[in-house]
Amino acid sequence: MTDALTFGSKILDHTWQNASNGISIQPASSIITLTGFVSGGKYVLQWCDPYQPDSKLQVIRTETLTAQIDGSLKIMVANLSSDIALKITLAGVRGKYNLFLPSLFGN
């Protein structure tokens, strides 16, 4: 398991300078662990493209996860080679209790 900051540091080569210079980024994959959630709670994860200007097209994937007994979420990230935003919402609760992690895995 990897925490989000450690995982994010693996793709720090994804910078504007490298992108403009045509330097390719090796995709990264891992399972990250985020803590502080309700044990057994169901959470909806929305993966969003932070570069998509049309808000109706920003969500690229949605999934539901159950928090572990210790209150952690184990999140599988596969072939990540660019910035992504992750919105985590407690299932069945509207409005409050949203956690928004903009550009969690990149610059």
Predicted confidence (pLDDT) per residue in 11-63, tens digit: 556 677 877 888 877 787 888 899 999 999 999 999 998 889 998 999 999 99
Running DSSP on this structure, what letter comes out for residue 99? Answer: E
pTM, entire model: 0.69
Domains and CATH numbers, the chain: 2-101 (2.60.40)
Position 77 pLDDT exceeds 60 = yes
The whole-number pLDDT of residue 25 equals 74
